[in-house]
Structure formats: C-alpha cells, structure tokens
Amino acid sequence: MNKCLRVTFVGDIPEGFLNNVVQKIAKNLNLEGTVQLVLIENKVKIIVCGDRDIVDQFIDHLHKGAGKVSLESLEIEPFLKDKDYRGVFRVIE
C-alpha cells in the first residue's frame, strides 16, 4: 500500500544537505517526491511517496542522516498525492 507524507522542519541546514542526504536516501529507497529549502524561513519542506514501509524507513534514515543537524519544529503529516512525481525524487532550488 502506498503512503505519502509531508515533512517540514527548521534548522541550520549545511550546504549540500538536500542533495547529499535527503535526495540520496530517497533515491536509494526508490521513493518519489520533492525536497525544497525555503531560505526566508530556513525551513525544509519534503513530500515523499512510496510503499508504506519504505516511507517509514525514509523517516528513520532522515533522522540518522541528519547527524549534527538540529531538526527543530519537525512536523510529519499525511499528504494526499496531488500530482505525478513520475517516480523521481527532485530537489527544488
């Protein structure tokens, strides 16, 4: 069964975090969606979709991959897929 989540958090995000951590984890798990850094708020917004168990693994890996990055105001909520991500996980810059 498929599952989609919207994940948002605030933190001091190092350069390359979106590509080297978030996108890499998603690609390794064959997930689709997007990740975007909103500079004004210093907030990361992630939409991730895929198999329920794999999406849960993504969240676990995200916590581990964040390492020294403080994930403040972390929000994880269900998301209704409103567009086709075509099986790709993209970084929106």
**Residue pLDDT, tens place only, 26-45:** 999 999 999 999 988 889 99
Maximum separation of any 2 CA atoms in the chain, in Å: 36
Supply the pLDDT for residue 22.
93
CA–CA gap between residue 46 and residue 61 (Å, rounded) = 14
Residues 45/6, Cβ–Cβ less than 8 Å: yes
Q: What is the pLDDT of residue 64?
A: 83
Tokens of residue 64, six digits: 């581990």
pLDDT in tens, 46-67: 999 999 999 999 999 988 877 7
User: Can you give the residue ranges of every domain in the chain?
Assistant: 2-83
Mean pLDDT of the chain, nearest integer = 90
Model confidence pTM above 0.85: yes
- How many whole angstroms separate alpha carbon 20 and alpha carbon 24? 6
Assign domain 2-83 to its CATH architecture. Answer: 2-Layer Sandwich (3.30)
